[in-house]
Amino acid sequence: MGNKKLLSMTGFSRISAGFTWGKLNLEVSSVNHRYQEITVRLPREFSSFEPLLISKMRSMLGRGKIRLNVEILWNPEYKMVTIDSVLLAGYWKQLDQIAEDMGSVQNISLTSLLNLPGVCDTQRNSNIEQEVEEAIISMLEELVDSLVEMKTKEGDILAEDISLQLNSFSSVIDLIGNEWQDVIPEALAALRSRLEKFIAEATQGISVDPARLAQEIAILSDKWDISEEIVRSRSHIDRFREMMGKGTCADDKNDDKRTENAGIGKKLDFLVQEMNREINTMGSKIQDARLRWQIVEAKSCLERIREQIQNID
């Protein structure tokens, strides 16, 4: 458990490598997102690599809006462009014929035709495409490892702040629990007085069975008793700490292990919703002014925790 880490959804990494055909730059960034969304930007001639790269990254990373950018800086000998003279001549003849049919004189510039489809082409060795693909794939794992390392550092900062807020929340729950025990007798006495007064006014002097009165008091007291909510809140806190301890397998280099516990952020978010539900129930039951201020403080702690959890993978 000690090796597990929380991962932030925010991170950035960039690596470069040189080859006989040029320099390859890979850059990946990740920001918060409810789901996993991956986009890849490639040189136009290698756009067919996109599905493969997305598939590999999908298995290597968890949630987040992830963008991979691939840049190739070709060596001069691989940048040479050849002109298809036959195709160029065909374009020229067609345009000249059209101008003649329309009775128009056109001064056609050859350079203006170079951008037409197929006229210019970069001639490269047929093996280059495979070499480029293999190079990108081999660098991708190193790139993702670097990204995960940065996300882990960010995750450590988030985990520290969340733990501090959780400790504050736990202290507030303990304080509410202790003060609640002190106000129970006073609250019960006030409830009994109000109930007796109500019954006296309703019955106009008719005697009331003390046992029945005690039963009614017990029923009403259950509606403002927060003991169960306090117990459940403490249980949620223990569960939260347990899940924080599990974290994610950011320390494992195996692709399948990188996201073994991915999605911990969603689980923690659901747990915070349950904790909020308990606090809201307490707030609806408590009438004591001091305790109501503690409820406000508890909600504030949970809100800060919730904000940080939104950044966790």
DSSP track, 166-213: HHHHHHHHHHHHHHHHHHHHHHHHHHHHHHHHHHHHHHTT----HHHH
Question: Could you tell me if residue 6 is inside a domain?
Answer: no
pLDDT value of position 91:
76
Helix axes 128-203, 210-224, angle to 10 degrees: 160
Mean pLDDT per 10-residue interval, the chain, length 313 residues? 70 93 93 90 89 92 92 79 71 78 71 68 67 92 93 91 94 90 73 68 61 60 77 94 70 43 78 94 83 92 92 86
- Do 243 and 172 have their domain in common? yes
Q: Are residues 36 and 142 in the same domain?
A: yes
> Number of C-alpha atoms within 13 angstroms, CB side, residue 126?
0
Nearest to 144 by CA among 48, 64, 255: 255
**pLDDT value at position 38?**
94
Is 178 in the same domain as 196?
yes
202 with 216, same domain?
A: yes
The reply to whether 186 and 198 lie within a common domain is: yes
Does residue 62 fall inside a structural domain? yes
By residue range, what is the domain housing residue 242? 150-309
Helix (H, G, I), strand (E, B) or coil at 7: coil
Residue 134: CATH number of its domain: 3.30.230
- Does any domain span residue 212? yes
Residues 206, 250: one domain? yes
pLDDT, position 204: 62
Q: How many domains does the chain have?
A: 3
Do 65 and 208 share a domain, yes or no?
no
Tell me the C-alpha distance between 71 and 22, whole Å: 10
With respect to residue 3, please indicate whether it lies within any of the assigned structural domains.
Answer: no
Q: Decide: 283 and 292 in contact? Cβ < 8 Å.
A: yes
The pair phi, psi for residue 38, each rounded to 5°, is -120, 130
DSSP tag of 76 = G
Specify whether 72 is located in the same domain as 98: no
Place of tokens 């067609």: 94
230 and 297 both lie in a single domain: yes
Query: What pLDDT shows up at residue 46?
Result: 87
Residue 158 inside a domain? The answer is yes
135 and 159 co-located in one domain: no
Q: What is the pairing mode between strands 22-31 and 11-19?
A: antiparallel
Does the reported pTM lie above 0.75?
Answer: no
Instruction: Give the per-residue pLDDT at 145.
Output: 93
Q: What is the CA radius of gyration of the chain?
A: 35
Answer whether 203's CB lies under 8 Å from 194's CB. no
**1 part of a folded domain:** no
What are the residues whose beta carbons fall under 8 Å from the beta carbon of 255, sequence distance 6 or more? 59, 60, 141
Domain match, 135 and 154 both: no
Helical spans, DSSP H, in the chain: 50-60, 85-101, 128-203, 210-224, 227-246, 255-258, 264-285, 289-309
Q: Is 247 exposed, middle or buried (0-12, 13-18, 19+ CB in 10 A)?
A: buried
For 232-279, write each residue's pLDDT tens digit: 999 999 999 998 887 554 444 444 434 444 568 888 999 999 999 999
In a domain, residue 4? The reply is: no
User: Is 229 part of any domain?
Assistant: yes
CA 230/CA 184 separation, integer angstroms: 14
CA 183, 165, 259, 62 torsion-angle sign: positive
pLDDT of residue 160: 92
Same-domain pairing of 174 and 284? yes
